[in-house]
Structure 1
């Protein structure tokens, strides 16, 4: 079975405004760029900027050392436009901060549309508990790079 590539991840993708999605993007070769506080905060700045610009409403997110999970309600942008916006702006900020890796992120991204029967709060808890499951912290509250609207 072939490994998903960026173009294969786009097949069948549909963007529906008002729909909830879980989005995941990964650094190139899973390099742990976000172990650096300043690099993680640069990514977070553009998660929040996407909200302010009306592309989406962020419900929960976590910036892990080598990837980002983001639960959103899609607004005016398509999924591809939203992710292109986030990845381009955060990558530019990372380059300005001294990250010399080219490219910074893997091509493409993963998305999953939530169904009406999905428990959104449970999905958000699963997302923000990633650092706990990865063994990075013993309590979620001790990990600095996450947020959720329910907190």
Structure 2
């Protein structure tokens, strides 16, 4: 798990720009595979949909892996830090309620990458949703239930 100092370094140079497309990755503490259970993974999906309903982001693609999340979105309102804190908190509260547990769920911080407008966004989305294939979780992406992309 990253230390607080390492998580702080993740923020170095972070800039939140409305209209910018970002790929963010966030990881569960100790890489605990809590989302290998479909129902727990759906809690993540619900939180991503809520962020879009609140018009904080326009979700373009995502995949919920057993121990982490990749999310491609266009930033609408607020900052990356605020959106990720809100989303991670919403997921943590829902999961803790579901599993009758308490405490933290996520590692500190998150990784983000601004996507240039000239990048092939459908190709980025395909790369994201192909994570379960590369991890050997399924033989074809259609067999993995926790992903979506606006192009696919």
TM-score when normalising by structure 2: 0.94
Cα-Cα RMSD: 1.5
Which position in structure 1 is the counterpart of 2:26? 25
Tell me how far apart the structure 1 counterparts of residues 133 and 145 of structure 2 sit (CA, whole Å): 12
1:60 alignment counterpart: 61
Match of 1:70 in 2: 71
Cα distance in structure 2, aligned partners of 1:90 and 1:7: 22
Contact 2:96 2:103 in 1 (8 A): no
1:1-150 alignment runs, 5 A limit: 5-98=6-99, 100=101, 102-150=103-151
SS at match of 1:60: strand
Q: Distance in 2 between matches of 1:27 and 1:99?
A: 17
Aligned-residue offset at 1:102: 3.1
C-alpha distance after superposition, 1:108-127 (max 9, x if no partner) = 00000011221111000000
Structure 2: distance between partners of 1:6 and 1:122: 29
Take 2:44 and 2:100, find their aligned partners in 1: how far apart are those partners? 13
Contact residue 56 and residue 73 of structure 1 kept, 8 A? yes
Specify every segment of 5 or more residues in structure 2 that has no aligned partner in the other structure, as ranges: none
- Taking the aligned partners of 1:52 and 1:9, their CA distance within structure 2 comes to 27
| Equivalent residue pairs, number | 150
The question of whether the paired residues in 2 share the 8 Å contact of 1:56 and 1:77 is answered with no
With structure 1 as the length reference, what TM-score do the two structures score?
Answer: 0.95
SS at match of 1:22: strand
